[in-house]
Amino acid sequence: MTQTEKALSFRALHQRAGAFIIPNPWDAGTARLLAHLGFEALATTSAGFAASLGRRDYNVNRDEVIAHIATISAATLLPVSADLENGFGDDPEFVAETIRLAAASGVVGGSIEDSTRNAGQPIYDFEHAVDRVRAASEAARALSFSFTLTARCENYLVGRTDIKDTIKRLQAYQDAGADVLYAPGLATKEEIGAVVSSVDRPINVLAGLPGMEWNREELAAMGVKRISIGSGLARAAFSAFFRAASEMHEQGTFTFAQNTLMLSEIGKMFPE
């Protein structure tokens, strides 16, 4: 499947009825396992990738991320959307270049956050945030295929639980050219409903948060189009690894191995 075909397939997922789950692998192996299970698209995870390198989230540079998303994209025929953090720079043109580099790596979509990584001012000023999304959108539109740009408002992840400002930003990002809108951290039906009813772009919701018990059908009924899990799968894997290693170290036992897949089973999920 060509990149153009993947891009069109990815767009179509956002246009059909209901909601789809876009899980987040952190390496080629997990990407192939998810493809084997029948998922229709994948999204990378900055936190999962950083953890696989033994680092905290947001401690991986742009060159490393571009190489990583190229590996994920090459591992499967599924369309892949990249977690591009805040574009790895403040300047709108730097963000635009990140989009171009991501597209050249083989992915067919990507997300740009409005988080600054500056504790004193965690979210970009409104106008500057919009300029960054506009630059990313213009770069995406200049490509030879339909790159799906997701604009993220990070208010809730930095403790700014201001639904009015979140909606204002998402509406502005829509007007600036974003194809999908995303406010990770929304945790109530009222918040999700308010966002969905305030914009006319597909909404991505982050599932797996504490207290969030809705399934795909329930989220679809709220108007959500795309459901991601962020670092959820990576956390599940690292948690299982930690529990198994702790059992060996603290108890000297190996009961964890009784409920694991055999290598022969895992191998069958990978292409020849």
Reference 187, options 169, 168, 206; nearest CA is 206
Q: Which CATH code is given to the segment(s) 3-230? A: 3.20.20.60
Write out the chain's pLDDT in tens, 272 residues: 899 999 999 999 999 999 999 999 999 999 999 999 999 999 999 999 999 999 999 999 999 999 999 999 999 999 999 999 999 999 999 999 999 999 999 999 999 999 999 999 999 999 999 999 999 999 999 999 999 999 999 999 999 999 999 999 999 999 999 999 999 999 899 999 999 999 999 999 999 888 888 999 999 999 999 999 999 999 999 999 999 999 999 999 999 999 999 988 988 888 87
pLDDT for the residue numbered 213 = 86
pTM, two decimal places:
0.97
60: left (phi over 0), alpha (psi -120 to 50) or beta: beta
Angle between helices 126-141 and 163-175 (to 10 degrees): 30
Q: For 34-86, write each residue's pLDDT tens digit.
A: 999 999 999 999 999 999 999 999 999 999 999 999 999 999 999 999 999 99
Instruction: State CA 254 to chain mean position distance.
Output: 35
> Which runs of consecutive H residues, i.e. helices, occur in 16-148?
28-37, 46-52, 62-75, 92-105, 126-141
Only one residue has tokens 């988080």, namely 115
Residue 141, both tokens: 């539109």
Residue 214 contacts residue 186 (beta carbons within 8 Å): no
C-alpha distances out from residue 178 to 36, 118, 192, 209, Å: 30, 24, 18, 25
